[in-house]
Amino acid sequence: MSRFKYSVGPWNVHEGADAYGPSTRESITLEEKIKKFKEIGFDAVQFHDDDAVPNMNNLTEAEIIEEAKKVKALLDKYEMKAEFVAPRLWMDSKTTDGAFTSNSDSDREFAMWRAFRSIDIANALGCDKIVLWLAREGTICYESKSPVESVKKLIDAINKMLDYDKNIKIMIETKPNEPVDRSVCPTMGHAMAVSAATIDPSRVGGLLESAHAILAGLDPASEIGFATSMGKIWGVHLNDQNGMKFDQDKSFGVENLRQAFNQIKVLMENNFGANGEYIGLDVKVMRTEKQEGSYKHLENSLKIAKMLEAKAEKFDYDFQKKCIKERDYEALEMYVMELLMKG
């Protein structure tokens, strides 16, 4: 029995296309995905605004809410919750040069429209969290935007969202690069600083993704720890990543088991989930996988996370204390390795 509730997004089951090649698998409908997520053992679904309401740019505000209600009925049918809605602000021709920090006034206005609609969709789905993965908020040509004005524009956009809905909470999903070269909000420290500068810091927190921390050259468990110390880790995207290259979204724990263990451990030690937070698994199946393997990475990641929960349960805090007292960190390290390697 896990102490955590787990969540996943529809984008985590995908057709296999990458920047260099076409799809390798067929599309699966949202309903089929939700049904399968439930069967695998997930408790909640994460949404982009247009995962819930496709083609939303061409709908009225009332129509968008109507469409979202149909998705809420689907969730109810399979006894699943919605965790958050994230405006997909990187896919549109109106956000080519960024969204909230774009140099174009009309593009920034469009980004706000999508952010407000995401809040409407979240309300229709029965959740109170918005995720901002700030994909194109940054530069690909450094001199094209002011690093000062960009941060101010981001804070201004978040303030408008906080003002639009007095209950909504915003989680900033930090990432240092990709698709931009330099991001305005690369780490948890940046997210916490942005939070503090908004009109209601109590409603602006962080979502840490393991791979994104590694891309920033940082340790995911320490990033989780940093935001936890501020009371602001409201979501995580656990996955894995082999060094500082393109974002890989590998199954959780498959590259660095000790690092994965320490992410689960810090979440357990700090009672993550006590306020209804979910552990999200933001993983992608390998492009080589066949249609019937479309969910394998989710099953594997969930299994690994639960196995690491069991390992963390067994962690001997008395032995840790003794090692700390004697300053024998070699012994502590070997203990951890044996804990992880022994059946």
Residues that bind ligand 3MF (CB under 6 A): 11, 48, 86, 131, 133, 173, 175, 209, 237, 247, 282
Question: CA–CA distance from 280 to each of 59, 150, 231, 292, 333 (Å)?
Answer: 30, 29, 18, 22, 28
Task: Measure the CA–CA gap between 160 and 198, rounded to whole angstroms.
Answer: 10
Select from 17-25, 55-63, 208-216, 286-294 the region that touches Mg ion (CB under 5 A): 208-216
Identity of the residue, 6 or 64, whose beta carbon is nearer to Mg ion in the bound complex? 6
Q: Which residues are within 8 A (CB) of 186 and not within 5 positions of it... i.e. 6 or more apart? A: 174, 175, 176, 177, 216
Q: Does 237 bind Mg ion (CB under 5 A)?
A: yes
CA angle at residue 327 from 321 to 330, to 5 degrees?
95
Q: 45 in the Ramachandran plot: left (φ > 0), alpha (ψ -120 to 50) or beta?
A: beta
Region of 44 (left: φ > 0; alpha: ψ -120 to 50; beta: rest) is beta
7 to 38, 82, 110, 143, 281: CA distances (angstroms): 10, 9, 29, 39, 6
Residue 249 lies near Mg ion (rule: CB under 5 A)? no
Is residue 14 near Mg ion by the rule CB under 5 A?
A: no
Which of the choices Mg ion, ligand 3MF, none does residue 86 contact, using the CB cut-off of 5 to 8 A by kind?
ligand 3MF
* Residue closer to ligand 3MF (CB basis): 47 or 336: 47
- Closer to ligand 3MF by Cβ: residue 86 or 254: 86
For residue 223, state whether it binds Mg ion (rule: CB under 5 A).
no
In the list 51, 137, 209, 240, the residue contacting Mg ion (rule: CB under 5 A) is 209
Minimum CB distance to Mg ion smaller for 7 or for 64: 7
Question: With CB cut-offs between 5 and 8 Å by kind, which of Mg ion, ligand 3MF, none does residue 53 bind?
Answer: none
User: Which residues make Cβ contacts (< 8 Å) with residue 265, sequence separation at least 6?
Assistant: 221, 308, 312, 315
Q: What separation in angstroms does the CA of 74 have from each of 29, 45, 80, 92, 192?
A: 12, 11, 8, 27, 35
Span interacting with Mg ion, options 45-53, 111-119, 253-261, 281-289, rule CB under 5 A: 281-289
Choose the one of Mg ion, ligand 3MF, none that binds residue 247, judging by a C-beta under 5 to 8 angstroms depending on kind: ligand 3MF
284 in contact with Mg ion (CB under 5 A)? no
How far apart CA 303 and CA 87 sit, in angstroms, is 30
In the complex with ligand 3MF, the residue whose CB is nearer, 247 or 277, is: 247
- The residue range among 72-80, 102-110, 209-217, 252-260 that interacts with Mg ion, by the rule CB under 5 A, is 209-217
What's the min distance (Å) between Cβ of 88 and ligand 3MF? Answer: 7
Nearest-approach distance from CB 179 to ligand 3MF, in angstroms: 9
Whole-angstrom distance, CA of residue 135 vs CA of residue 157:
15
Phi-psi domain of 173 (left: phi exceeds 0; alpha: psi -120 through 50; beta: other): beta
Q: Does 309 bind Mg ion (CB under 5 A)?
A: no
Shorter beta-carbon distance to ligand 3MF: residue 89 or 266: 89
Local structure of 123: helix, strand or coil: helix
Out of 49, 120, 255, 282, the residue judged to bind Mg ion by CB under 5 A = 282
Which of ligand 3MF, Mg ion, none does residue 240 bind (CB under 5 to 8 Å by kind)? none
- Closer of 3 and 287 to ligand 3MF (Cβ): 287
Residues in contact with Mg ion by CB under 5 A are: 209, 237, 282
